[in-house]
Structure 1
Amino acid sequence: MNRRAAVRNLLYIAGGALVLPACFRKSGKASIELANLAISEDDERLLAELTETLIPATDTPGGKELLLHLFVLKMVDDCHSPKDQQQFAKGLSAFSAWSEKELDGEFAAANTDSRVKLLDKIGKSDNEELKKFFSITKRRAIQGYMNSRYVMTNLVKYELVPGRYNGFAPA
């Protein structure tokens, strides 16, 4: 074996050994930088599962594939009042604890039917933080879906202004 090839292979192995642990380590931080919200990696994962339950993947992409959870976080961080942001953060932690209690396990581990039944129970709940959190999340997830690139390019038929002339339109 050539000495240069052996040294090169040794450097590849050493570099891989240094980089590999960083690939599997949990950072604990959200993948998006937020100015006003403090969201952990687990909270982000829970929100991704929630948006996937709200907008499931069928023949169209779902909430996870369209990254709607990041849209929800960014919109809450940028466009909502500090009071709403605080209620959202409290509601997220309340939803996490409530869903674990109701499902006897994590929300992400539950099947789709039990997730949908759980989300139906939120309207009947007495917890106002939970209702506010779900309301904001649902509204922003739908807004993100309707404004996503997929919907705007594949589902919405766009006509340039002024559009077609329709002589039979009622006056």
Structure 2
Amino acid sequence: MERRNALKTLAGALGGLVALPGWATGWTAESVQLTKSFLPADQIETLAAVVDTIIPATDTPGAKELNVSQFIQKVVADCYDKAAQDALSNGLVLTNDLAQKAYGKPFGGGDATQRTDLLKQMEQSTEPAQATFIKLVKPLTIRGYLNSEYVMTNLTHYEFIPGHYHGCVPVKK
């Protein structure tokens, strides 16, 4: 009886391994696009400015160029509860309000130093809404950036199947 269970398990594992490449390569840009955003347009622009402030462009593209803000919207819309969605939306409004009070312009209109200072102030704040917003956005920004196609292929040199076997290589004497 144990041999039968072992054969069933082996057949299931083999079927999964055969189906895995077709499933993984079936993803397209259209299939992972955010179909309907729960954020208004002005908050989307603020979110793009926030992720650009957290990971700005240097000699490599920044988070804004790699569309990390779309990643955050997709993850929060699909995987987080209504409270987290509200925390993101309210945090973006709060970020714009704080920037308006401090610098007389919206968050995206400030220069890099002003935006960085404002985010640091929010991170060190004891107000729960500010702390919750930063604790939500900052890790998602880092995760989205590190999992982007550009970073995975050009910076970390990700291999889909690690430990590739190179059978025919020149041997030195």
TM over 0.5: yes
Please state how far the C-alpha of 1:123 moved relative to its aligned partner. Answer: 2.3
Which has the higher mean CA deviation after the structures are superposed, 149-158 or 41-50?
149-158
Q: Counterpart of 1:144?
A: 144
Q: Counterpart of 2:122?
A: 122
- For residues 134 and 33 of structure 1, what CA distance do their matches in structure 2 show? 25
- For residues 108 and 64 of structure 1, what CA distance do their matches in structure 2 show? 12
Normalized against structure 1, the TM-score is what? 0.70
Structure 2 unmatched ranges of 5 or more = 1-32, 166-173
- For residues 105 and 158 of structure 2, what CA distance do their matches in structure 1 show? 45
Normalized against structure 2, the TM-score is what? 0.69
Q: Counterpart of 1:18?
A: none
Q: Counterpart of 1:5?
A: none
Identity %: 33
- For residues 33 and 127 of structure 1, what CA distance do their matches in structure 2 show? 33
Partner of 1:108: helix, strand, or coil?
A: helix
Counterparts of residues 43-122 of structure 1 (less than 5 Å): 43-122=43-122
| Cα distance change, pair 153–161 in 1 and its aligned pair in 2 (3 A) | closer
- For residues 102 and 124 of structure 2, what CA distance do their matches in structure 1 show? 14
Counterpart amino acid of 1:127?
E
- For residues 48 and 162 of structure 2, what CA distance do their matches in structure 1 show? 37
Counterpart amino acid of 2:156?
V
- For residues 67 and 76 of structure 1, what CA distance do their matches in structure 2 show? 15
- Give the ranges of 4+ consecutive aligned residues of structure 1 lying more than 6 Å apart after TM superposition: none
How big is each residue's C-alpha offset from its partner over 1:139-171, in whole Å with a ceiling of 9 and x where there is no partner?
11111100000011001134544469xxxxxxx
- For residues 60 and 145 of structure 2, what CA distance do their matches in structure 1 show? 11
Counterpart amino acid of 2:129?
E
Partner of 2:115: helix, strand, or coil?
A: helix
How big is each residue's C-alpha offset from its partner over 1:4-54, in whole Å with a ceiling of 9 and x where there is no partner?
xxxxxxxxxxxxxxxxxxxxxxxxxxx9433xx631111101111111111
Q: Counterpart of 1:11?
A: none
Q: Counterpart of 1:13?
A: none
Structure 1 unmatched ranges of 5 or more = 1-30, 165-171
Which has the higher mean CA deviation after the structures are superposed, 128-137 or 152-161?
152-161
Q: Counterpart of 1:134?
A: 134
- For residues 55 and 98 of structure 1, what CA distance do their matches in structure 2 show? 21
When the two structures are aligned, how many residues end up with a matched partner?
132
Counterpart amino acid of 2:114?
S
Root mean square deviation of aligned Cα: 2.0
Please state how far the C-alpha of 1:82 moved relative to its aligned partner. Answer: 1.8
